[in-house]
Structure 1
Amino acid sequence: MAFVFRWLLRLTTGLLVLAFLAFLLIYYFASRSLPDYNADHQVAGLSAPLEIVRDNANVPHIFGETDSDVFFGLGYAHAQDRLWQMMMLRRTAQGRLSELFGERTLNIDKLIRRLDLYGVARQSVEVQDERTMAALKAYAAGVNARMTQVNEQALGRGAPEFFLFSNQIAPWQPADSIAIIKLMSLQLSAHLEEEVLRARTSLILPQERLLDILPDAPGDGIAAMPSYSSIMPGLPQYSEAADQPFDPLSPFLARPFAGASNVWAADPSRAAAGGTLLANDPHLGFTAPAIWYLARVELEAGGVIGGTIPGVPVILVGRTKNLGWGLTTAYADDQDVYLEELNPTSPNEYRTPDGFKPFRTRPSIINVKDADQVTIDLRWTENGPVLPGSHYGLGTIIRQGYVTSLAWTALSPADTSLSAGMALMRSNSIIEGMEATKDYIAPVQNLVLADQNSIALKTIGAIPKRNPLHQTQGRLPSPGWVVTNRWQGRLDYSLNPEVIAPDGGILGNTNNKVTDRPFPEHVSFFYPDSQRILRWRKLMQDRKVHTRESFIEAQLDTVSNTAVTLLSLVGADLWFTGEAAPDGTPERRRQDALALLGNWNGEMNEHMPEPLLYAAWLRALQDRLIQDELGPLTREFTHVEPLFIERVYRDVDGAAVWCDVVQSSPIETCAEMAQLALDDALVWIDETYGTTLESLRWGNAHEATHDHPVLGDTPGLSWFVNIRQSTSGGDNTLLRGRTIGTGPDPFLNVHGAAFRGVYDFADPDSSVFIISTGQSGHPLSRYYDDLGQLWRRGEYIPMSLDPDLARAAAVGVTVLTPR
């Protein structure tokens, strides 16, 4: 027995030693790619020595002799910290993910190839101005210099992920940077999905009920639209849509996650310190690392500091000494879905105003890991690329003998958006900034500017020029062979909405409607925010003058006007009715929930139970209201639409009819539906959390999911690479934390402000910013998640252009000299 025990002990000890040695070996190879920020390197491609000073938050401050050298340094810094992220963004834009991930990414590759994002990016390289071309080439040289260094010095392949996915890495090219902008345009566009959903819903509902569940943005300028069944007759009411393409880097390519943002500014008359103020927090899907990367570049025109996207040599949001700028997604209607009729005798032809014409076609080969190559035929019409019915549910809105094509401004082969961004970085006033962005194409954005003296808002980007006689006004798919449905170029830049030096001294945008102009100069019928703007207006009006701190408070505000309004309507007949029910009964639990909500001010605080009760109740209520009318289409409405609930409970245009269950004999009232939905929510909460109502925490349900896009679902590795944080806020708060809306954890926070910045031109170096994870994409780096806790607590780091301050707290200085 002792003999067996000794050998078991020896075997166990040996296995533990081997496991420890294996861990050390893995750690050694993985840590080889950790950058040494205190180093001198000789590199090819520089004209003179270059310094990259890393401040104590690992923000690189790049100083060089020429602008080209500075952009070289930015490319080098991006590659040091985010090489894996850059390569995945490029692969996504090229439609080459399946070479690494096999068949699970084949759908997304097919979609990207059909859109030909990389093809139009390569064509757009030729139209950039001279300065931008020089910057693109220098930036690419900096990225490639880092990759050469990784190969020559065996620096762990540049990132740990490359040990798991070991395909060769091609050198960086100028087209790669433009392709990433195209990819961001895809993530920030929602009108394709909006048109398809509206068409599918209109096949089920009459016009007046369609406007309940898919309401128009409040304000004037809304016109009626035809029934989709009159455009494409003979379609079934319900048709199952194919699954959305899987994208490991941009998992939120769907209508509810098409981008959002907040931006506001105050001129000196409304600023306590007498200088302009600007605050901006763009909203995107959360990932680890965050899509944003903080950087400062010292150009010949002066220093520029702010948020970049690795792979793109532009400060997208930030400031110079004299000018600050922020962005929100404008939701301009820059996409149209066209119905293309096939020639019955020749399916390779489609109908045009001049008769049938052949598609422009090209084969494309997709290499798939552990599977055979897949060849797809790419087709284009005069309106744009043909998309198959397997994407975006397009197959549900066409009959046999038709296909769909997409017109989209981002598919321009002469896209000068990057040149516009470069020009903006060299601007010194709001007038110069507005002029610099006149050649910006896509994605359409609201640009808010603040210089030393004034503020302005300008919608930048190409907005399609449509015929006033367009059949659907771009709100529904339309026949592509009808001349009046086709685009007639783009609106003149002067027609893009703008506000300069507003009378009240404050302006802002939360993705709300920006103009009441009627079609066809309307910009859009669809805006995702009708709620955050109400809270913003109150906060701005509550103070005669503002400070940097008051702008920060507004960015971090968690009060939901939506919750206060809807609860007063939905629960109007439920509060304080009847005697107290016995403990332990469903009635008592309902009364307890109503008592908590009745004393709640709408603050979506992570430590409180009320936000979870409210969110679960409204989610259950909307499902009950729409399920009998929409059937299987209910699953497309993953988030509560506040205007819908308000219309129903105010009975606007007879909308209270939604409360009656069509299939039942009795006529249900809205109060009954509210009570049933509250019971549903309490049952779900009990099954999910199993605790007293007072012990619930919104933050437990509303975790921010900064997950690694590829390794985040891998057992064991997910613990190292994912960053999860309890967070406040919600779908309709200024501190926006968009919930996922589906699955067993529908309130996970998956989309929000991964960058925040506040700029004070009374004292520019007191400006601050933050990102939601850390600067490094390396899970073993101390800079992988160090900024995440500051972000969660609502804290910021200094945004200074003072080189002495950067050097005083530097964690490293990298010196690059010409080889």
Structure 2
Amino acid sequence: MLTLFRWLLRLFVVVAALALGGLLLAYWLASRSLVDYSAEHAVEGITAPVEIVRDHAGVPHIFGATDRDVFFGLGFAHAQDRLWQMTMLRRTAQGRLSELFGERTLRVDELMRRLDLYRLSQAAVEHQDADTRAALEAYAAGVNAWLKEVNEGAKGRGAPEFFIFSNEIAPWQPADSIAVIKLMGVQLSSHLADEVLRARLTLALPPARVADILPAVPGPGIAALPDYASLFPSLDVKTALSTPPDQSAPPLMPVAPRGLAGASNAWAAAPSRSASGGTLLANDPHLGFTAPSIWYLARLELSTGGVIGGTIPGVPGVLVGRSDKLGWGLTSAYLDDQDLFIEELDPDNPERVRTPKGFAEMRRRDSIIHLADGSARTITLRWTENGPVIPGRFFDLAAITPPGHVTSLSWTLLTERDTSMTALIRLMRAQSVREAIAAGALFVAPAQNLTLADSGGIAMKLIGAMPERDPAHQTRGRMPSPGWVAANRWKGTLPYSQNPEFINPPGGILGNTNNKMVERPFPLHVSYTWGDTQRIQRWRKLMQDREVHTRESFIEAQLDSVSPTARSLLPLVARELWFTGEAAPEGTPERLRQRALAMLADWNGEMNEHLPEPLIYAAWMRALQDRLIRDELGPLAAAFSHLEPLFIERVFRDVGGASAWCDIRQSTAQESCTDIARMALDDALVWIGEKWGTDLESLRWGDAHQATHDHQVLGDIPFLKWFVNIHQSTSGGDNTLMRGRTKGSGPNPFLNVHGAGYRGVYDFADPDASVFIISTGQSGHPLSRHYDDLGELWRRGEYIPMSLDPELARAAAVGVMRLLPEDGDEGG
């Protein structure tokens, strides 16, 4: 027995030693790619030394003799800190993820190939102006210079992920940067999914009920839509209604689920509304959370002056930020820039589709997708005159496509003549609001609201190509339409002068929370679907509560966690439940309900992470909406994974007979809205009790509303996920200015998955008092202290300075890197 014990002990020691050795070896290999921020590198492609000063937060301040050298330095810094992220963005746009991940990402690659993003990006390079092409080439040279350092200097393959997946990294090309911008357009798109859902709802519901569940944003009325079935008599309506929405999301799919596309906040104050007498601007663009964040902070010292703010790795420019003279912010415009077309196939030749002039051949091209196991798939790409053909297995298109037809997509993003990169470069160099608006004329997609502030004024301009539709369009772009009808087809794009514009408004304050911007008749309407009807209410109140504003009041508004939705819905939904009936015995469901109602009655709507009321409210509204729509919509109910505030309000105000949703069709009894509200609250409390316990006062919203900054590839791998994922308890919610959009599905539907990865507030009375923050850290390397060092500041609502003073950057530098021209290099 003693001998057995000794051998077991020896075996344990050997196994433990091998495991420890393996861990140490893995750590050593991974640490090889940590960047020395004080190193010197001799590189090709610059005319004079370039200095990269990284301040205490790891933000690079890049100085060079020429703008080309500065863009080279940005490419070098991006590649040092975010090489894996850049390659994943590029592979996604190219449709080449399956070379690393196999079948899991085949669907993503197929969609990207069918959209043809990368070929369009390659063609777009020639449509940029000379300065932009020079910036793209210099940036690519900077990225490739770091790749050379990695390959020749044994720097751990550039990132730890390359030890697990292929370390073959193709040189960066100018087209890659344009492809990243187009990919961001894919992530921000939403109208395609809304068109499909609206079409399916018109098959299931009468027009009045469609107007309830997908209501128009309040304002002048919209003409009635045709019945979708009447447009396509051969459609199998039964199949269209019984097919559940596709809720699957392949890894790295850039198309966001409904309700999780682009969002953002931006507002500005003129000197007349500023306590300091200078303009103010605040901006927090919202995207899906990842680790690292999609945002990367940087300062560029250009010939036109310094610029500092948020960049996206892979793109040579500051997308949101400021210079000494100008501040700019972006919010998703929700411009209706996508239309689906149902194309009729020629019965005698399925390669032809009907057009206004008869049947015409589709363009086609074969494309080969290589998989990690060495196999390959060949797909045939097709285009009609309206755009690429999208198979029915994407976006639930099969449910609304009749037999003998296919679906194509028109989208402003899908063009070779995309000069959005030139617009971004010119925007960085603009010296005034007027110059910035002029630069926006070249921006194509994704459509954005550009908020601006210079020393004397403020403005907002929608930038992005607006489709020109025929006033006789059958569905006005709200649903798929017959592609062979001439009136449905786009006639080009509208002049830039038609894009909404607001310059120095009389009230001295302007802003956008993805809310409805204008009320104009079709086809100048901009959109029928907007991203917000709630946050704008709270923003308007906060702006009007003060005669003048400060940097601090703008920060306070950015971090405001009061839900106007909770404040408006709870009095409606609970009006006949509060303080009614006798006290119920302890331990009964009735008593639990009374406790919950009493707590909500005293609550001010603040979605604070430490409070229990936000969780009770959110679970109640979720259960309520499900009870209202489940019997009416069946499988389609799954498409509504987030609270629809206007729908709940219409139902409980009985707008146009909307209270009909409260009656359960399958039951013989006549349920009232109060009945459904009470049953839904009981449902919610049962769910809370099973997951969080029945001690309501001890609940914390932050336990359910954790921000999930997950590594997109390693975040699901056991053991590794504990090192690469960043989870934080957070305040806010779906409809607060400090927006923390919830997941909406799965066992933890209230996880915070989409919000302000970047926040910036710019004060032009004292520009160096401007501040910004991102949601993780600057580095994409999990072993770097800059991987998550800004995340806790972001969670607490803190910021770091945004200074263009080079001495301040050097005074707090964690490293000063010098790039030196190689002998004889003239920068060509």
Q: Structure 1 pair 672/629, CA: closer, same or farther in 2 (3 Å)? A: same
AA matched with 2:237 = P
Asked if the contact 2:245–2:635 (Cα under 8 Å) also holds between the matched residues in 1, the reply is no
**What root-mean-square deviation, in Å, do the aligned CA atoms of Structure 1 and Structure 2 show?**
1.0
Q: Which residue of 2 aligns with 1:236?
A: 237
User: Are positions 1:663 and 2:663 aligned together?
Assistant: no
Q: Distance in 2 between matches of 1:59 and 1:241?
A: 46
Which of 761, 770, 777 is the matching residue for 1:758? 761
1:7 deviates by 2.2
Describe how 1:224-303 pairs up with structure 2 within 5 A: 224-233=224-233, 234-237=235-238, 238-240=241-243, 243=246, 246-249=249-252, 253-303=256-306
Q: Distance in 1 between matches of 2:639 and 2:273?
A: 43
Q: Which residue of 1 aligns with 2:702?
A: 699
AA matched with 2:420 = S
Asked if the contact 1:273–1:762 (Cα under 8 Å) also holds between the matched residues in 2, the reply is yes
Describe how 1:269-418 pairs up with structure 2 within 5 A: 269-370=272-373, 372-418=375-421
TM-score by length of 1: 0.99
Q: Distance in 2 between matches of 1:696 and 1:245?
A: 31
Which of 461, 468, 473 is the matching residue for 1:470? 473
User: Are positions 1:730 and 2:733 aligned together?
Assistant: yes
Q: Distance in 1 between matches of 2:662 and 2:636?
A: 18
1:666 deviates by 1.0
Q: Distance in 2 between matches of 1:365 and 1:186?
A: 22
Q: Distance in 1 between matches of 2:169 and 2:693?
A: 50
1:690 deviates by 1.9
Q: SS state of the match for residue 74, structure 1? A: helix
Asked if the contact 1:100–1:167 (Cα under 8 Å) also holds between the matched residues in 2, the reply is no
AA matched with 2:765 = A
Which of 498, 502, 515 is the matching residue for 1:499? 502
Q: Which residue of 2 aligns with 1:549?
A: 552
1:664-693 residue CA offsets vs partner (Å, 9 max, x unmatched): 111100000000000000000011112400
Q: Which residue of 2 aligns with 1:76?
A: 76
1:316-364 residue CA offsets vs partner (Å, 9 max, x unmatched): 0000000000010000000000000000111110000110011100000
Describe how 1:138-149 pairs up with structure 2 within 5 A: 138-149=138-149
Q: Distance in 2 between matches of 1:360 and 1:241?
A: 32
Q: Distance in 2 between matches of 1:739 and 1:720?
A: 23
1:498-530 residue CA offsets vs partner (Å, 9 max, x unmatched): 000000000000000000001000000000200
AA matched with 1:235 = D
Q: Distance in 2 between matches of 1:637 and 1:569?
A: 21
User: Are positions 1:169 and 2:172 aligned together?
Assistant: no
Q: Which residue of 2 aligns with 1:180?
A: 180
Q: Structure 1 pair 808/611, CA: closer, same or farther in 2 (3 Å)? A: same
Q: Structure 1 pair 256/672, CA: closer, same or farther in 2 (3 Å)? A: same
AA matched with 1:18 = L
Which of 795, 800, 810 is the matching residue for 2:798? 795
User: Are positions 1:594 and 2:597 aligned together?
Assistant: yes
364-373 vs 354-363, which moves further: 364-373
Asked if the contact 1:737–1:752 (Cα under 8 Å) also holds between the matched residues in 2, the reply is yes
Which of 664, 681, 685 is the matching residue for 2:684? 681
Q: Which residue of 1 aligns with 2:61?
A: 61
1:2 deviates by 2.6
> How many equivalent pairs are there?
819
AA matched with 1:379 = R
User: Are positions 1:628 and 2:631 aligned together?
Assistant: yes
Q: Distance in 2 between matches of 1:43 and 1:51?
A: 13
Q: Distance in 1 between matches of 2:331 and 2:231?
A: 34
Q: Which residue of 2 aligns with 1:129?
A: 129
Q: Distance in 2 between matches of 1:249 and 1:791?
A: 25
Q: Which residue of 2 aligns with 1:714?
A: 717
Q: Distance in 2 between matches of 1:3 and 1:484?
A: 90
Q: Distance in 2 between matches of 1:45 and 1:549?
A: 43
Q: SS state of the match for residue 732, structure 2? A: coil
User: Are positions 1:535 and 2:538 aligned together?
Assistant: yes
1:391-430 residue CA offsets vs partner (Å, 9 max, x unmatched): 0010100111000000000001110000000001111110
Q: SS state of the match for residue 256, structure 1? A: coil
Q: Structure 1 pair 371/693, CA: closer, same or farther in 2 (3 Å)? A: farther
1:371 deviates by 5.9
Q: Which residue of 2 aligns with 1:770?
A: 773
User: Are positions 1:85 and 2:85 aligned together?
Assistant: yes
1:9 deviates by 1.9
Asked if the contact 2:57–2:786 (Cα under 8 Å) also holds between the matched residues in 1, the reply is yes
Asked if the contact 1:107–1:246 (Cα under 8 Å) also holds between the matched residues in 2, the reply is no
1:11 deviates by 1.8
Q: Distance in 2 between matches of 1:693 and 1:397?
A: 45
Q: Distance in 2 between matches of 1:646 and 1:246?
A: 31
Q: SS state of the match for residue 428, structure 1? A: coil
Q: Which residue of 1 aligns with 2:752?
A: 749
Q: Which residue of 1 aligns with 2:826?
A: none
Q: Which residue of 2 aligns with 1:103?
A: 103
1:588 deviates by 0.2
Q: Distance in 2 between matches of 1:559 and 1:228?
A: 40
AA matched with 1:203 = L
Q: Distance in 2 between matches of 1:221 and 1:95?
A: 42
Q: Which residue of 1 aligns with 2:825?
A: none
Which of 643, 652, 655 is the matching residue for 1:652? 655
AA matched with 1:190 = S
1:134-181 residue CA offsets vs partner (Å, 9 max, x unmatched): 000000000000000000011000000000002411000000000010
Asked if the contact 2:108–2:253 (Cα under 8 Å) also holds between the matched residues in 1, the reply is no
TM-score by length of 2: 0.98
User: Are positions 1:481 and 2:480 aligned together?
Assistant: no
1:252 deviates by 5.7
Asked if the contact 2:177–2:314 (Cα under 8 Å) also holds between the matched residues in 1, the reply is yes
Q: Which residue of 2 aligns with 1:782?
A: 785
Q: Which residue of 2 aligns with 1:453?
A: 456
Q: Structure 1 pair 574/245, CA: closer, same or farther in 2 (3 Å)? A: closer
Q: SS state of the match for residue 507, structure 1? A: strand
686-695 vs 628-637, which moves further: 686-695
Asked if the contact 1:105–1:246 (Cα under 8 Å) also holds between the matched residues in 2, the reply is no
* % same residue: 68
1:349-387 residue CA offsets vs partner (Å, 9 max, x unmatched): 000011001110000000012263110000000000000
Q: Distance in 2 between matches of 1:218 and 1:242?
A: 28
Q: Distance in 2 between matches of 1:247 and 1:457?
A: 37
Q: Distance in 2 between matches of 1:245 and 1:136?
A: 36
Q: Distance in 2 between matches of 1:674 and 1:721?
A: 42
Q: Distance in 1 between matches of 2:806 and 2:560?
A: 33
Asked if the contact 1:241–1:396 (Cα under 8 Å) also holds between the matched residues in 2, the reply is no
List gaps (5 residues or longer) in structure 1.
Answer: none
AA matched with 1:165 = F
Q: Structure 1 pair 628/221, CA: closer, same or farther in 2 (3 Å)? A: closer
1:240 deviates by 1.9
